[in-house]
Amino acid sequence: MFLEYAPEGSLLDLMNKYGGKIPERDVNCYTQMILEGLLDVHEKGFIHSDLKPSNILVFTPQHGTYLPILKIADFGLAKQQGAKDTRSRFRGTKYYMSPESIVGEVSGALDIWSLGCIVVEMITRRLPWDTHDQDDLRDKLLRGESPNIPEDMSKLGKSFLRECFTIDPNKR
């Protein structure tokens, strides 16, 4: 397998270049690019399982566009859709993991939750959770908590995040 060279680095690098919060109009475009990539991955029967800013590569803008192109990378934890994960009790990177990842359930909803966490981070420039303790985060997820939705987002943006953070993965 070959990977394209990403001259602009990762989404994490791009967020650092903005130097602060990314304007919501740009976040909307980036989110659409990530969703298109996830749709392609999910249609092929796979789940990424570790979606986070450092696993999204940034490419130079195409002619006629001002925003860079984003592409999903690092499929090291990818699983086939519907598979049960027996490896461990956690799937992915703690700040971006979904409630069902704790019990090893693997579906496309897992990636959608992670995308919501990424959107929160792009908008606020902070990690989606205020804890660094994995056990505390697990407990929050098991209690049905989700990352806070930024108050200064548009109504549509808040609605999108509420959908991403629906606890029941079958409704996400």
Q: Output Rg (C-alpha) for the chain, integer angstroms.
A: 15
- Return the structure tokens found at 44: 């092929």
| 26 given a catalytic annotation | no
DSSP 8-state assignment for residue 135: H
Instruction: Answer whether 108's CB lies under 8 Å from 166's CB.
Output: no
Instruction: Answer whether 169's CB lies under 8 Å from 98's CB.
Output: yes
Max intra-chain CA distance, the chain: 47
Task: Please pick, among 50, 85, 135, 139, the residue that the annotation labels catalytic.
Answer: 50
Question: Could you tell me which of 115, 109, 112, 23 has the C-alpha nearest to residue 70?
Answer: 115
What secondary structure does DSSP assign to 30-71, as a single string? HHHHHHHHHHHHHHTTEE-S---GGGEEEEPPPTT-SSPEEE
- Return the structure tokens found at 126: 């902070």
- The residues annotated as belonging to the active site are 50
